[in-house]
Amino acid sequence: MTKLLFLIVLLFSFNAVADLRATGDLGIVIEREDGNALIVNTTEHKRLAEIEKLGDLSHASVVFSRDQRYAYVFGRDGGLTKIDMLKDAIDKRIVQAGNSIGGAISQDGKLIAVSNYTPGGVKVFSSDTLELVADIPSNYGDGLRSKVVGLVDAPGQLFVFSLFDAGEIWLADFKNPKAPVIKKFPNIGKQPYDALMSPDGHYYIAGLFGEPGLALLDLWNTDAGVKRILPDYGKDDEKLPVYKMPHLEGWAVAGDYVFAPAIGQHKVLVIDKNTWKLHDTIAVAGQPVFVMARPDARQVWVNFAFPDNNQLQIIDVKDLSLRLTLTPGKAVLHMEFTPRGEQVWVAVRDDNQLVVYDTDTLQEITRLPAKQPNGIFFSSRAHKIGL
């Protein structure tokens, strides 16, 4: 009898262990047209589950809880969905606005902030319950309300975001969530359309669509205000049609350089991070959308807007040269590096595939099926600033 009980306990213990799943190599892939999300294992190159009915994911983004168990999906329709990646299920979903453009998770992991087009502003929720904590309307001028873009987290329990219509940057201090303190920086330039947080949380940089240059806020010295950098670059150059806006959260900060897409030009800008002056430009195959650095900063990978969006180009940071051009398939929309950068996953929307490359050999490793994949987000983002 004792042996039988021992075997039963052992069997249940084995089953419990077999059902365990680590979170460090999980990721979310957005299937934009169907409004679904895949949970994937990045080590084993496996699809684990498909989460359905997440709303309009045409411009979706994802952040992760600090324990990497939960993924928070921001939909274009104002939907905010909390996914339990261990149970392969929706934990909770709300529709918090009419038109949303992304979000961020606070430094302590307790708050989820969402930036909204309609109505303009930022709403902040409990990451645990998705209950509303704060509502920050983006009011400006005479009764006007701006679209909000470029929302990121920053050290010190801060959220930073830009007002597209108002031409402002706002800094929201949430050390006391019940009474957030807002600091506003007006007149930063026309139509800030997205923003980048440097990986160390030191600098917030907003791109300007309405005029040349970029707006830089030094978070270590906010009293100095917003500084304009590269104010003259490209102002006299012929502008090409802009088929898709670049994504500044996909900019690359690699060593002493910032690699940025040039709006309306087939170039990547190389900016000296010490002086914030233009160091060089690199001619590329098309209009860049994402310019992303491998975690060791040795390579920068670039994808492009239509009609050149079947290509990827790899820049060698050592000598700022183009190393190789790849053609993964039709409509390359997004890339994501594994945490230490030995592989990169690529979303190829019109071929309904995810393509995985070895970043050392630049050889294809495998392909996985996905229905019109868009964004790829790995759980390692949980421990990075500004993503």
pLDDT values of the chain reduced to their tens digit, one per residue, 387 residues: 555 554 444 444 434 444 689 999 999 999 999 999 999 999 999 999 999 999 999 889 999 999 999 999 999 999 999 999 999 999 999 999 999 989 999 999 999 999 999 999 999 999 999 999 999 999 999 999 999 999 999 999 999 999 999 999 999 999 999 999 999 999 999 999 889 899 999 999 998 888 888 999 999 999 999 999 988 876 666 665 554 555 666 688 888 899 988 888 899 999 999 999 999 999 999 999 999 999 999 999 999 999 999 999 999 999 999 999 999 999 999 999 999 999 999 999 999 999 999 999 999 999 999 999 999 999 999 999 998
- Give tens-digit pLDDT for 191-250: 998 898 999 999 999 988 888 889 999 999 999 999 999 888 766 666 655 545 556 666
Question: 150-184 burial string, b = 16+ CB within 10 Å, else e?
Answer: bbbbbeebbbbbbbbbbbbbbbbebeeeeebeeee
Give the tokens for residue 45. Answer: 């190159």
Smallest CA-to-CA distance from 174 within 103, 130, 110 is with 110
The end-to-end CA distance of the chain, in Å, is: 56
Smallest CA-to-CA distance from 274 within 294, 253, 304, 297 is with 253
If phi > 0 it is left, if psi is from -120 to 50 it is alpha, else beta; for residue 239 that is beta
Specify the 3-state DSSP secondary structure of 189.
coil
CATH number of 96-244: 2.130.10.10
Specify the 3-state DSSP secondary structure of 267.
strand
Kindly report the pTM of this predicted structure. 0.92
Locate the domains of the chain by residue range: 96-244
The CB density around residue 88, as the number of other CB atoms within 10 Å, is: 13
Please tell me the distance from the alpha carbon of residue 124 to that of residue 128, in angstroms, as a whole number: 12
Please tell me the distance from the alpha carbon of residue 269 to that of residue 287, in angstroms, as a whole number: 12
Sign (positive or negative) of CA dihedral 183, 184, 188, 190 = positive
